[in-house]
Amino acid sequence: MNTTNRVQLTGNLGSKPEIKTFDNGNKLARFSMATSEEYTTKKGEKVTDTQWHFIAVWGKLADMIETELDKGSHVSVDGKLVTRNYLDKNGVKKYITEVVANDVLVKPKN
């Protein structure tokens, strides 16, 4: 059985991207991104549901992120969902799920 892990999101950056350059010259850009969905409750109240996503971008695409994106930028992200773990300063295992992007498009704000 062949399965696909693909995520597409369109939303706004929550903060300026963090850029890390490694000794080998490879670059990593990380940023948080908000997506929002509006709906109406049975009582007729309009509700906005905002979800936050962590995005990681590698290589040449990270160069573009560094120069073109800032807090509030409106973007579309295409990538895959990845879960990783690490030990915090107290030795407790923590898990994080993020989108590793293979394409990021800057969108004009509507």
Q: Which pLDDT score, from 0 to 100, does residue 83 have?
A: 95
Q: Please, which residues have CB within 8 angstroms of residue 51's CB and are 6 or more apart in sequence? A: 34, 35, 36, 37
Asked, for residue 21, whether it belongs to a domain, the answer is yes
Q: Please, which residues have CB within 8 angstroms of residue 79's CB and are 6 or more apart in sequence? A: 6, 7, 55, 99, 100, 101, 102, 103
Per the structure, the count of domains in the chain is 1
Asked, for residue 2, whether it belongs to a domain, the answer is no
Tens digits of residue pLDDT in 37-93: 999 999 999 999 999 999 999 999 999 999 999 999 999 999 999 999 999 999 999
pLDDT band at 109 (very low <50, low <70, confident <90, very high): low
Contact 38, 48 (CB under 8 A): yes
Tens digits of residue pLDDT in 13-27: 999 999 999 999 899
Asked, for residue 1, whether it belongs to a domain, the answer is no
Asked, for residue 41, whether it belongs to a domain, the answer is yes
Q: Which pLDDT score, from 0 to 100, does residue 2 have?
A: 72
> Structural domain of residue 83, as residue ranges?
7-106
pLDDT band at 1 (very low <50, low <70, confident <90, very high): low
Asked, for residue 23, whether it belongs to a domain, the answer is yes
**What CATH number does residue 77 fall under?**
2.40.50.140
For residues 38 and 2, the model is more confident at 38
Asked, for residue 102, whether it belongs to a domain, the answer is yes
Asked, for residue 98, whether it belongs to a domain, the answer is yes
Asked, for residue 43, whether it belongs to a domain, the answer is yes
User: Do the strands 74-87 and 46-58 form a parallel or antiparallel pair, or are they unpaired?
Assistant: unpaired
